[in-house]
Amino acid sequence: MQDNPLTDKAALITGGARRIGREIVRQLHEAGMRVMIHYRSSADDARALQRKLNAARPDSAALVQGDLMEAEASEHVMLETIHAFGRLDALINNASTFFATPVEEATEDQWVDLMGTNLKAPFFLSQAAASALRKNRGCIVNIADVYGLRPLKAHPIYCSAKAGLIMLTRSLARDLAPSVRVNAVAPGAILWPEDNADEVSAQRIIARTPLKRMGTPAEIAAAVLFLVRDATFSTGQILVVDGGRQVVP
């Protein structure tokens, strides 16, 4: 482990209790990092994951609860992380909400929610984390979406929020250089929303995907690990992980 550049370094993963966030937590931990698992409502999943990781390596996983829509949440989550580990080396902005907002029906509350979780929270978490990250020449990885690069029908607010997150990635790469690298992963279809499993749409997307399948959370986590550990001369980049969907019209 002595040659491992991640040994004992600390990562904060938002929305880390379940689904893609959980796999990011798992892979960064397996690669040697200590992990702060942020969650909002998935307390049982978060505790179960923490127990498992601490059983593998004592004191290597901690938990912080917070609704990122609330003022001061970013500050609180950061303070808890520094309190737990005394440092921060990687911030992974993964927490998100996703739902349709057809133009005629969208409400201001929906705007506030989608922009809040997907764009505002990553900015204020980055702001709260900046000085700790600067100290260790750390990095930020934002989890964007291919739908921040091209629109998904009936999701104009979500797509705009993720497009904003892509520009935020590029802007912060400039503003936090040279000490902090800022990159993003833009997943294609990975996991269907749990309340809306749509087999017909899934098959339609797969048909238009050159690699002819959905991606897996492990493939997104591997891209995050690459950006955290290996991409030492990359900043402001958007790593698209979509089975080649972008190259088909």
80 binds ligand NAP (CB under 6 A): no
Q: Are 33 and 39 in contact (CB under 8 A)?
A: no
CB 149 within 8 A of CB 160: no
Which are the catalytic amino acids? Answer: 158
CB of 78 to ligand NAP, least distance (A): 14
Question: Could you give the string, one character per residue 178-207, with x where binding to ligand NAP holds by CB under 6 A and - elsewhere?
Answer: ---------x-xxx----------------
243 within 8 A of 216, measured Cβ to Cβ: no
Sheet-wide strand order for 139-143: 61-65, 34-39, 10-13, 90-93, 139-143, 181-187, 238-241
Cβ-Cβ contacts under 8 Å for 118 (sequence gap 6 or more): 96, 97, 158, 161, 162, 164, 165
Residue nearest to ligand NAP (CB): 15
155 binds ligand NAP (CB under 6 A): no
* Count of positions on this chain that bind ligand NAP (CB under 6 A): 25
Residues 124/74, Cβ–Cβ less than 8 Å = yes
Provide the minimum distance between the beta carbon of 83 and ligand NAP in the complex, in angstroms, as a whole number. 19
Residue 89 CB, shortest distance to ligand NAP, in Å, is 20
Beta carbon of residue 204, minimum distance to ligand NAP (angstroms, whole number): 14
CA angle 183, 225, 38 (to 5 degrees): 85
Site for ligand NAP in 87-146 (CB under 6 A): 94-98, 117, 143, 145
Residue number, 94 or 101, with CB nearest to ligand NAP: 94
Contact 78, 129 (CB under 8 A): yes
Note the residues at the interface with ligand NAP (CB under 6 A). 15, 17-21, 39-42, 67-69, 94-98, 117, 143, 145, 187, 189-191
